[in-house]
Chains A and B, each alone.
Chain A
């Protein structure tokens, strides 16, 4: 999947539209795990929903292309897009308690996706597939007749993963799949995702704000701030040679075992409101390395070296 210059606006009543996503580009190769990192409200969820074309009623994709399987997803008709969803691009949501329908049996919810996309009607075949999927994520197939509230948090997340795998998708978009879970279960889920990726050759778009998870899971990282791409590079580059001040601050705000005595830093201030953006660089008001130009001119995404992009005036000057 290759995304170029994707921009999304939210239309607001009695206010100019909020530019929630501006010219975001990235490529997700087969079997690759791309980490999407940033604070809350930086456009991660908007990006993910834009790719699936599931924006709320006031969301508009204003420009860009999403090339996948030789076609632009943004050009597809509504029915063709509905066929694309889950069959080729599936999702795992955070907090699977709410993402699963509370009054439907877990097995039925998985079966629904199979019936929808594979046109299988025979109950036995569908049941067999559901059992197989649950087994794949380590849930006893006999529990498919239970309801979500009878599952533990980790099991619900695993059931969600089983559901995502139902139609053998090429891409899975995982929206903070481990945020609501305790550390032990988190580790299990991550391990499961990693195993499944290797076994099934999945590409995963991993949305998170947990940098530890990124280091463990991802091949490449896209750092976002205020709806724009801040830095985009391989995971090693991001951790060892971050160019953008925001990426550096983000890493400093995360505990590091090799520097256990260092005090954790936090970035003062808040992410900008998307309908009242600063005129220059969006990070300028909070940036420790800010200078005059940052307040007046937006930096373009600049290629630092092959496969490493950053949008900062400091990088351009080098």
Chain B
């Protein structure tokens, strides 16, 4: 009973936050200076009629919200128009139908473009995170268990180095090594011009392209996870209840498994959730270096081209993924630590 109430409360807050983000996200792009109709098509020869046509096409002729033509308070407009026929409510209405507007640059629906790229990003991030979590945590546990030995020092040195490496630099170096010596593709998702006989062949090609970006991503996050796992586990191992377990005659392995790891997981869950949420953007550097057609690269391009609907959609997606990652962390936390639900 208590548990379901806790879950309902957390989900409720997440939904409320999303509503807030939608509103903020909308106005954020409306207060930006400049005329999106002109910014989209950067050509000074454009006639007034053509600009007006673009305005109508993208719905920019409508007031932002009732009474306000734009967010500039000097430009108050007609207050007696139908409130639902304003940019904000049209936006919300479209959003409810899964419409995110049309990209200024490609003239394709933003939702379709984002979905394609989201899958690519999720593939890269998912693989990279899983590898980084598994390897980083194992290395952290090993280092903490063998604390202050050669194993520990080696693992520490490796992780600190991995953590400090600039992502784009590591990517370029790996790209150089991988493509010159290991015969791996230099970028993209598929080898251009290839005809695939089966879907297995296609997936193998994607896998081949995934190796280098995933490796870069894994190394970047592995160091952080290892260091945090090691230090929290060392903290936990010095707790009184570990001494109790030792006094009970429990073996070191069992102490680690039954008593230490679960407690040491608590800060790890928080860090992983934070990383997962921000990871969509965190992949920008890797996706750009490896020309991986994912969200990060798309945001980079959209910023360059002032493709506001695209950015707006991407921001919303990122915000929602941060919120959901946090929600997942909250729920997993309550499973790991029974004290959470009661507080």
Are B247 and A86 neighbours in the complex by a CB distance under 8 Å?
Answer: yes
Given A103-B337, A104-B259, A112-B258; A85-B248 close (CB under 8 Å): yes
Contact residue among B245, B247, B251, B338 (Cβ-Cβ distance under 8 Å from A103): B338
Q: Are B263 and A103 in contact (CB under 8 A)?
A: yes
* B-contact 0/1 string along A100-130, CB 8 Å cutoff: 1111100000001100110000000000000
User: Which chain B residues (299-330) contact chain A, with CB distance < 8 Å?
Assistant: none
Name the residue in B249, B251, B258, B337 with the highest tally of chain A Cβ atoms < 10 Å from its Cβ: B249
- Report A28-84 residues with CB < 8 Å from chain B CB: 52, 54, 57, 82-84
B239 at the interface (CB under 8 A from A): yes
B residues in contact with A83, CB < 8 Å? 249
For A99, give its contact among B240, B262, B337 (CB under 8 Å): B240
Q: Which of A128-168 contact B (CB under 8 A)?
A: 147, 149-150, 163
Do residues A99 and B248 form an inter-chain contact, with CB atoms below 8 A? no
A98 touches B241 (CB 8 A): yes
B246 within 8 A of partner (CB): yes
Beta-carbon contact of B249 and A91 below 8 Å: no
From A99, A103, A104, A112, give the contact of B243 (CB < 8 A). Answer: A99
Chain B, residues 222-265, CB within 8 Å of chain A (1/0): the string is 00000000000000000111011111111100000011001100
**With the chains together, A98 CA to B243 CA distance in Å?**
10
Closest partner residue, chain B, to A87 (CB atom): B249
Known A-B contacts A52-B247, A93-B244, A116-B250; A98 and B338 likewise in contact (beta carbons under 8 Å):
no
- Taking the closest CB of chain B, its distance from the CB of A52, in whole angstroms, is 6
B249 touches A82 (CB 8 A): yes
Cα of A147 to Cα of B262 in the assembled complex, Å? 14
CB <8 Å contact, B339 and A91: no
Q: A242 an interface residue at 8 Å Cβ cutoff?
A: no
Q: Say whether B245 contacts A101, CB under 8 Å.
A: yes
Interface residues of A toward B: which range? Answer: 20 to 34
- Please measure, in the bound complex, the distance between the C-alpha atom of A90 and the C-alpha atom of B248, giving whole angstroms: 7
Cross-chain contact of B251 among A82, A87, A90 (Cβ < 8 A): A82
Are B248 and A116 in contact (CB-based, < 8 A)?
A: yes
Q: CB-CB < 8 A to B339: which residues of A?
A: 102-103, 147, 149
In the complex the two chains form, is B239's CB within 8 Å of A113's CB? no
Residues of the A chain whose Cβ atoms lie less than 8 Å from the Cβ of B342: 149-150
Query: In the complex, which residues of chain B have a beta carbon less than 8 angstroms from the beta carbon of A54?
Result: 243, 246-247
**A101 close to B249 (CB less than 8 A):** no
B15 at interface, CB cutoff 8 A: no
Shortest distance from the beta carbon of B220 to any chain A beta carbon, whole Å? 31
CA A102 to CA B263, docked complex, whole Å: 8
The distance from the CB of B137 to the nearest CB of chain A, in whole angstroms, is: 17
At the interface, yes or no: B336 with Cβ under 8 Å from chain A? yes
Residues of chain B within 8 A (CB-CB) of A163 are: 248
Complex alpha-carbon distance, A149 and B339, angstroms: 7
Q: Knowing A95-B240, A102-B337, say if A85 contacts B245 (CB, 8 Å).
A: no
CB-based closest 7 A-B pairs? A85-B249, A98-B240, A82-B249, A101-B241, A86-B248, A99-B240, A147-B338
- Residues of A in contact with B (beta carbons under 8 Å apart): 52, 54, 57, 82-87, 90-91, 93, 95, 98-104, 112-113, 116-117, 147, 149-150, 163
